[in-house]
Structure formats: structure tokens, C-alpha cells
Amino acid sequence: MKIKYLGLLLAGTFGLNSCSMVGDIDDIKPYYKLEEENVVYNLESAESVLRGVYKSWRTFNVSSFRLYMSILSGTTISKGGGLTGGQEFVTNSVQANNIALANIYQGSYLTINTANSLIKLMERGDAKGAPEQRVKEIIAECKIQRALAHFQVLRHFGYFFDRSSPYGIVLRNIPFTGTEATPRATVQQSYDFILTDLDDAIANAPQINELHYYVTKATAKALKAKVLLHMGKYNEAENLAKEAIDLAEANGYQLEKSFRSVFTNGYDSSEALFATYTEGAMETASDQIARTTYSEYTKRMADALVGTDNDGDLNTGDGYDQRFYLMFNPTFAGAQGNGKHPYSINGTGKHNTQMILRLGEIYFIHAEAAVRNGHYDTARKSFQTMASRVNYPTNYASSISNKTLLNAIFQHKALELFAENGEDWFDFVRYYHERNMDLNAIKSTIKSGAQLVLPLPQTALAGNNKLQQNPL
């Protein structure tokens, strides 16, 4: 069999599936150097390598970091023990030598490098006999992955909230060979790079795919709306989020009727714009979610939104927002104690999918952007759609004043998405910098704006002498 990517291109991505994977980004060369003469030679081999790009999101380094972000924000807490480097996230005092930082940084660039390698091979015509349209689609899918990974690095390690800042990220659009020392781009340059990839993807990605662990034009549009929101381009974000919702729903995506179904259906969920495929004994992702539980902050928020303070009952759900109840009620929580990960980590059946981008989030993006544009009625429509799914009254959004609507959207979105991709943290950072929230509104351990940006890993600095650390 000529397809050598399992042993060559992706030996590190899928073999280094443990927390021991550190080292600077320059160390990826031995694991990711393609035998370019034969790794892709027809459409079938190209599709095999493409599956490797998708699979990279399941590596330990990437998948395990999500829970660290919710601990950082204070929406979840560690149960104690076993979470390597976790205490620094509890106290919001993350250091550059933290192993979890090194893992997510390198894991993200491994996705970028794998995507870049396949883009290069497709552009030079290695997939002999492949239809031109499918070649364009494969490149577009890789560009969505590359944009998503760069965006992930920017939000974790860059001043994403300030487009005038010089503290962007290292940008990669060609395969990394292990010899380059590259300075950080500015934040604006980082966003421009990401948007260019997404525009190309919107033009060329597949229109539809029934398998929701693959990306489409709707994924690209939705991700671009999310990027625009983070850039503070609220008018564009509002318009594009609506376009993304309409395009998605016209092509088979739809909100699940119940919140719980999003996660029990996993990668088969009609709501998933991009989710990890997790099935059987081999196709798994290490998430460690069983080592966390809800915080008092999240519990109070879920309680205060329904009924009165301190009337919530986790056994019945009475007095709690249903999203909180469905995550932590003992009946639904399952083997890992969290309803978003309802399946055992063992066994041969369906495993716990990680929702990287889903339609429900885009409704919240549309609602927030609309509020910031002063389009309150438009915002309420999308907000009510999400509130209705979890049994809020049909007039709930209309009962909230214009003045408090933005904060209500923040709270509902936090309950919708916490313990998924760190959106609760990134929203808090954005709201703080927009002066919509106090610095210690979520955690008393957050006392300085410098704590809102993670330090670049020491291993990355050691491997790139042009890389400048964030101000600390």
C-alpha cells in the first residue's frame, strides 16, 4: 500500500496522543516531513490524508485543553488531582512552562502543518485524475482547518481583543521544515490571514455533507461570523451570522429539538457544523472531563435565571436552567459526570464527540452582534430561539430590557457552551475589554488584565528566537 501518511506525515499527530507531547514547535519536523513523491498520488490517497487533518483535532494535546479553559474562566472547577498543570488555571496564574500550554500550542500548529502539506500537494497536482472541483474542495476544507487552528492560537496566546496590537501570532501558509525562525504577526495581520482562508473556503468548500465531522461552506461562513465578532466588526458579524444560519438550515443543518440530543447524537447531531468523529476503540478523544464539575458561579447563574435564588433542585431540574440540569443531573451525567460527555471512555460503541462549532452558537453570535448594533428586536428573535429550546417562556426575550439584554445573552451563552471550547472565557475577555463586565466578575483570582492572555509556552520561545513573549 503506497499511502504512507500514517507512518510519515501523521506519525506524530496520532501517535503522540498523550500529555507527554511537549517540545518546541520546531521539533515537529521529524514527525511531519512528507515523502512528497508518493504520499498523495490519486484522489483516494488525498482523501486519506484529508481524514488525517480532521483527525488531528482529536489528539490529546488539543482535545484535553478545553477543560482547562473552563477552569480558567471559573465556569467549572477541578475535582482535584490528576490534571497536569491544572492548579495554575484554577488560580489564573498560568506560567510559560505549563505543560498544558505547550501541548495546545504544538497541537494547533500540527493541525496547521498537516493542512499546509496537503494544500501544497493538491495545488501542485499530485492527486492524479482527481476532478478539478474536488481538488478545490479539499484545499478549501484544509483552509477551514488552517483558519480554525490559527484562530485557536490567536485567542489563546494573542491580544485578539485589540486589532491595533503587535501581539498576534506566528502565521504558517507553507509546510514547516524545522529551520525557520519567524516573528509574530500583528493582530490585524493575523485576522487578515484567517479571513482570507475563510473567504477562499466560502467560495470553494463543499455545499453540503451529511457527515457532520466534515466541514462545508456553512461551516466557513459561521466561523467567519465568529471571527468578525471577535474583531469587533459587529455589523458584518450580524449579517454574516444570519447568512450562515440560513445557509446551514437550507443544507440540512438544524437545531436539535432538545439540548441533550446535541450530545447524545454527537457527531450525528443535525446541529454540528464541525464535530470530532469518535467511535469504537480506536476513534477516541481524551478529554479528562470527569476530573471537573460545575462551579458555584455557574450554579448560581443557572439558579438565578429560573425561579428565585437558591431554589434549584438537581434531582428534578426545578429552579435551574435546563442546560445546567441536563449536564449535572445524576441520571443524565453518565459515566463522566457531565451530560455533554454522556458516554463511557471505554467500550466499542459511540464515544464522546467534541463540538468544535455548532449552530446554536451562531444564533448567540447573531443575537450579541445585533444588540451591539442596536437591533434589539432582531437580537431578541435569535435569543428567544435558543431560550425556547430549554423551556423559557415564549415572551422571555421580550421581557428583558434593552439595557440588560447583552448581559442576559452572555449568561445564556455561557450555560449553552461552557465546558465545550472555552467560549465562556473568550466571551468574558471580550466583554471586559468592551467595558461590559468587571475584571473579577467571574473569579476573584482575576485581578489584572495581564491574566487575560496566556503566556506563550517556553518551549515555543526556545525553538523560535524571533518569537516575543506576551507582556506579563
Tens digits of residue pLDDT in 96-124:
999 999 999 999 999 999 999 999 999 99
Q: Determine the pLDDT at residue 176.
A: 85
**Looking at residue 9, what is its pLDDT?**
39
Q: What was the pLDDT predicted at 347?
A: 65
At a CB cut-off of 8 Å and minimum separation 6, what does 313 contact? 319, 320
Cα–Cα dist 375/238, whole Å: 10
The three cell numbers of residue 435 are 467595558
- At residue 360, the pLDDT reads 98
Phi, psi of 42 (to 5 degrees): -155, -175
DSSP structure class, residue 394: T
What pLDDT is attached to residue 178? 72
Q: What is the pTM of this model?
A: 0.92
Q: What is the DSSP letter of 454?
A: P
Structural domains in the chain?
Answer: 1-205+446-472 (1.25.40.390), 212-437 (1.25.40.390)
Q: Using the 8-state DSSP alphabet, how is residue 148 labeled? A: H
Per-residue pLDDT of the chain (472 residues; tens, 9 = 90+): 333 333 333 433 333 333 333 333 333 333 334 455 578 999 999 999 999 999 999 998 998 898 899 999 999 998 866 678 889 999 999 999 999 999 999 999 999 999 999 999 999 999 999 999 999 999 999 999 999 999 999 999 999 999 999 999 999 999 987 767 899 999 999 999 999 999 999 999 999 999 999 999 999 999 999 999 999 999 999 999 999 999 999 999 999 999 999 999 999 999 999 999 988 767 877 667 888 899 999 999 999 999 999 999 999 999 999 999 999 998 888 788 888 988 887 766 788 899 999 999 999 999 999 999 999 999 999 999 999 999 999 999 999 999 999 999 999 999 999 989 899 999 999 999 999 999 988 899 999 999 999 999 999 999 899 999 999 7
> Using CA atoms, how far apart are residues 241 and 252, in angstroms rounded to an integer?
17
Give the pLDDT score at 264. Answer: 93
Q: Is 307 helix (H, G, I), strand (E, B) or coil?
A: coil
